[in-house]
A = this chain, B = another copy of it.
């Protein structure tokens, strides 16, 4: 019998409790031990549940109870969650969390404490919801040097973009629909401005490359600048627009890490990832590209990943698991200026013939779409050094650059 505590009884927390209660036989069989919820920490009261007697408002009960071996943190945020998780690890308890904000900000520190205390700190649910990605990266791909991770990491923005692409819905209407369906928060900032995707690419980069990447090191651009016109131009170029997080290892030991809207070629597997689904493409030097795809959020998908971690902890109470990375460094994340890139550029022009001529003279192998109705030209560059392309784009003088997005093909 292993006693656990769940801190937080929101969407994911209630899902964790329900899975453990409703499927106790399955969970115990997999863990080879009975798993019992001893406490659920929440400031609110929840009456009439089969486990209403487990609720407590007192964190000290949990941290001071030597019977509690595993603590689930599903409160979210980085203040109380950080203090409580740290205290639990220091008290020799393993912790499982779905809290990407916490892991992205404090992962290295908490993993160090876990290592020191010989307990586990697991967070499979923090990236991709129920989609397995962190454990396979750390375990199955371990013979590889990871060189790149590119993912559609946020279900809310992917839903909005899918509605724009497939139903020609405006950004505002699609956001409203996402809110009505419960996919987007009342304050959607963290999703649409890319902060959520940023946290996830931090976790993926930290795990993939072994050194902590902090959210403030990641240049992050959301989708508020994506319009239906861009969606249409993208379609003309055989692409769809997706919000991607991307991190790459450079030859000099540094990495790049970015979140931005990008035109993804319809030939690329990531282009087929629609609605609230997520997908993470991992490149290894031996294996090439592998992709993990599934629901990026939702009560039971996410909760099932947390319970998977709990089961793993239960089976490894005596022996540490594999997850670890080192503290980050101030200059570890480099600008992507010297990386290879390809751009979509949207140009306003009074003289499209002249602009087309200028494009053809300054770029090789571009494709472009002339939109006479709007006095616009949209173009795709070829692949080149990012700063070279940016300089070329900056040198265009027959037109005004309206926007520039990366292209992934």
CB within 8 Å of B: which of A101-140?
Answer: 124, 130-132, 135-136, 139-140
| A304-B286 in contact (CB<8A) | yes
Q: Please give, as numbers and ranges, the residues of chain B lying within 8 Å of A308 by CB-CB distance.
A: 139-143
Which residue of chain B has the shortest Cβ distance to A311 in the bound complex? Answer: B142
Selected contact of A312 from candidates B30, B139, B272, B290, CB within 8 Å: B139
Interface contact B132-A290, CB-CB below 8 Å? yes
Cα(A304)–Cα(B283), bound, Å: 13
Q: Would B19 and A131 count as touching, CB distance under 8 A?
A: no
Q: Report the nearest B residue to A16, measured CB to CB.
A: B143
Binds B, one of A37-45, A295-303, A388-396: A295-303
Please pick, from B30, B132, B140, B145, the residue contacting A26 in the complex, using a CB distance under 8 A: B145
Query: Is A291 on the interface with B (CB-CB < 8 A)?
Result: yes
The answer, yes or no, to whether A144 is at the interface (CB within 8 Å) is: yes
The listed residue with most B CB atoms (<10 A of its CB), out of A286, A303, A322, is A286
Which residues of B have CB within 8 Å of A288?
Answer: 130, 294-295, 298, 301
A286-B298 Cα distance, complex, nearest whole Å: 10
In the assembled complex, the CB of A27 is this many whole angstroms from the nearest CB of chain B, namely: 7
A295 touches B304 (CB 8 A): no
A319 at the interface (CB under 8 A from B): yes
The chain B residue sitting closest to A268, CB to CB, is B272
Q: Which of B140, B293, B319 contacts A132 (CB 8 A)?
A: B140
Contact with B along A12-37 (1 / 0, CB 8 A): 00000001000100110010000000
Bound Cα distance A298, B314 (Å):
36
- Contact residues in B for A51 (Cβ distance below 8 Å): none
Distance in angstroms between the alpha carbons of A271 and B301 in the assembled complex: 24
| A185 touches B (CB below 8 Å) | no
Q: A269-B293, A272-B269, A319-B319 known; A19 and B140 CB under 8 Å?
A: no
The interface bits of chain A over 138-158 (1 if a CB of B lies within 8 angstroms of the residue's CB, else 0) are 011111110000000000000
Query: Across the interface, do B143 and A132 meet the contact criterion of CB distance under 8 Å?
Result: no
Contacts of A312 in B (CB 8 A): 139, 142
Residues of B within 8 A of A23 (CB): 143, 145
- Whether the Cβ atoms of A144 and B304 lie closer than 8 Å is yes
Distance of A30 Cα from B140 Cα, bound (Å): 11
Are B287 and A301 interface neighbours, CB within 8 A? yes
Question: Within the complex, which residue of B26, B124, B145, B290 is in contact with A294, where a contact is CB–CB below 8 Å?
Answer: B290
Q: Which interface residue of A295, A305, A308, A312 has the most chain B CB atoms within 10 A?
A: A308
Indicate if the CB atoms of B304 and A143 lie closer than 8 Å: yes
Query: Do A291 and B291 touch across chains, with their CB atoms under 8 A apart?
Result: yes
| A289 beta carbon closer than 8 Å to chain B | yes
Contacts of A310 on B, CB cut-off 8 Å?
Answer: 143
Is the CB–CB distance between A290 and B287 below 8 Å? no
Q: 19 extra interchain contacts, Cβ-Cβ under 8 A, other than A130-B286, A142-B312?
A: A124-B140, A130-B288, A131-B290, A132-B141, A132-B290, A132-B292, A135-B135, A135-B136, A135-B139, A141-B308, A144-B304, A269-B293, A271-B272, A286-B300, A290-B292, A290-B294, A290-B295, A291-B292, A319-B319
Q: Could you name 5 residue pairs across A and B whose Cβ atoms are closer than 8 Å?
A: A23-B143, A132-B290, A135-B139, A140-B305, A143-B303
Nearest 7 A-B pairs (CB), nearest first?
Answer: A132-B140, A290-B294, A143-B307, A286-B304, A130-B287, A132-B136, A291-B293
